[in-house]
């Protein structure tokens, strides 16, 4: 099997053949990964934002569309031939032991799900079966981007119809938040970013207003639209100055949701906490607190019924052997969401 391996932090991934474990253990599922997305979490792992990595070398990726090839003892959720979404959030089913792969004489570590490899041993509770008439490339978006965006809006932000929302950073997750806000009848929906092509895409997905923070005064333009500040503010960049501004511009009765994680352990926010003693809420986001087996089928059903479309969310496509190019596209901000086609090798 072909895999992209994190061998050394802050270095390109190594693309090479590795070997599957000899047998499936209790609760494990062997899948053929067809498509994988790339999330900011993987960039953080490569860059070592949480410090030295004790598990090198290891595999990466946590959102994918795949086909089940085999099941281990105890697995009842899927059978060979089923199509599945691979996700990092726990779902129903067994949490299996994590697999160990072989790379020559070396052991390659992996978590309960990885998607930067065209075959993967995945824990039963890290996959959700889907209809075979759903594109596996689109299905990969439900492993993190769409579900996290949905959960950030409805579970963390607690959106009610007619509330205003401002979204700072409209990459894949930010666009999913825009899409979800439109689905929930938010108004206005304000998208803020430094990249005009992302703001143009945000309008396509339902933003009523956009602010280019590279050329426009965010405070003036946002408060001109919503004088008292938005009811819900979601921050996706993890950049301190942006997080602080997002918090400061939110209404006194707002919910502020931090989705983006700091770029360094030393990054600390400075905020006026007095408003938190009254009705303002500041909260973090952990995958939108979604339940994959509940939310994924229902969101896919809404998409199939025409309530929304994900067309245009994938901005770039690469084969697995070009995944480092895809990663650089993500870093530069040029890409909204990259799709990695895994191939059959």
> Where in the chain are the domains?
2-143+314-341, 145-289
Cα–Cα distance between 250 and 254 in angstroms, integer? 6
Q: Which of 59, 47, 45 is nearest to 5 (CA)?
A: 59
Tokens found for residue 4? 């992209």
pLDDT score of 344 more than 70? no
- The predicted model gives 263-270 an average pLDDT of 84
d(CA 243, CA 269): 7
Q: Which residue has the tokens 């474990």?
A: 21
Mean pLDDT of 7-17: 97
**Residue 265 predicted with pLDDT over 80:** no
User: Looking at 37-51, 71-85, 100-114, 310-324, which range is the least confident one?
Assistant: 37-51
pLDDT digits (tens, 9 = 90+) for 281-301: 999 999 999 999 999 999 999
The CATH H-level (homologous superfamily) assignment of domain 145-289 is NAD(P)-binding Rossmann-like Domain (3.40.50.720)
The pLDDT value recorded for residue 49 is 82
pTM score > 0.85 for this model? yes
Residue 274's contacts (CB-CB under 8 Å, 6 or more residues apart) are none
Residues 6+ apart with CB under 8 A from 219: 245, 249
> pLDDT-derived band of residue 345, with 50, 70 and 90 as boundaries?
very low
Structure-token pair, residue 317: 């496509």
Domain made up of 2-143+314-341: CATH architecture? Alpha-Beta Complex (3.90)
Segment 42-46 mean pLDDT? 92
Tell me if residue 150 falls in helix, strand or coil. helix
Q: Quick: pLDDT tens for 47-62.
A: 988 888 999 999 999 9
Instruction: Give the pLDDT confidence of 26-36 residue by residue, as tens digits.
Output: 999 999 999 99
Q: How far apart are CA 174 and CA 171, in angstroms?
A: 5
Check pLDDT > 80 for residue 180.
yes
Q: Give the pLDDT confidence score for residue 61 in this predicted structure.
A: 97
Query: Residue 286 has what DSSP assignment?
Result: S
What's the whole-number mean pLDDT along residues 158-176? Answer: 97
């Amino acid at each position: 099997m072909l895999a992209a391996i994190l061998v050394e932090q802050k270095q390109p991934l190594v693309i090479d053949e590795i070997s599957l474990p000899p047998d499936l253990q209790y609760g494990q599922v062997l899948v053929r990964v067809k498509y994988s997305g790339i999330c900011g979490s993987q960039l953080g792992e490569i860059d070592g934002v949480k410090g030295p990595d004790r598990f090198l070398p290891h595999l990466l990726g946590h959102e994918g569309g795949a086909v089940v090839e085999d099941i281990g003892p105890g697995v009842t959720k899927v059978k060979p031939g089923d199509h599945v979404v691979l996700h990092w959030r726990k779902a129903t089913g067994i949490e299996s032991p994590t697999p160990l792969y072989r790379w020559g004489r070396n052991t390659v570590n992996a978590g309960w799900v990885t998607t930067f490899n065209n075959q993967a041993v995945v824990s039963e509770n890290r996959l959700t079966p889907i209809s075979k008439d759903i594109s596996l490339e689109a299905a990969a978006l439900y492993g993190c981007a769409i579900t996290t965006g949905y959960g950030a809006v409805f579970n963390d932000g607690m959106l009610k119809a007619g509330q205003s929302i401002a979204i700072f950073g409209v990459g894949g997750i930010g666009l999913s938040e825009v899409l979800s806000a439109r689905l929930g009848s938010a108004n206005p929906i304000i998208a803020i970013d430094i990249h005009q092509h992302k703001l143009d895409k945000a309008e396509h997905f339902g933003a009523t207003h956009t602010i280019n923070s590279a050329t426009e005064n965010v405070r003036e333009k946002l408060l001109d639209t919503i004088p008292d500040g938005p009811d819900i503010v979601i921050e996706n960049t993890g950049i301190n100055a942006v997080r602080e501004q997002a918090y400061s511009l939110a209404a006194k009765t707002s919910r502020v949701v931090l989705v983006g994680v700091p770029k360094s352990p030393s990054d600390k926010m400075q905020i006026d906490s007095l408003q938190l003693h009254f009705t303002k809420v500041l909260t973090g986001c952990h995958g939108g607190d979604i339940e994959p087996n509940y939310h994924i089928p229902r969101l896919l059903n809404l998409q199939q019924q025409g309530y929304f479309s994900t067309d245009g969310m994938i901005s770039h496509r690469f084969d697995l052997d070009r995944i480092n190019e895809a990663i650089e596209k993500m870093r530069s901000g040029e890409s909204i969401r990259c799709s990695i086609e895994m191939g059959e090798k």
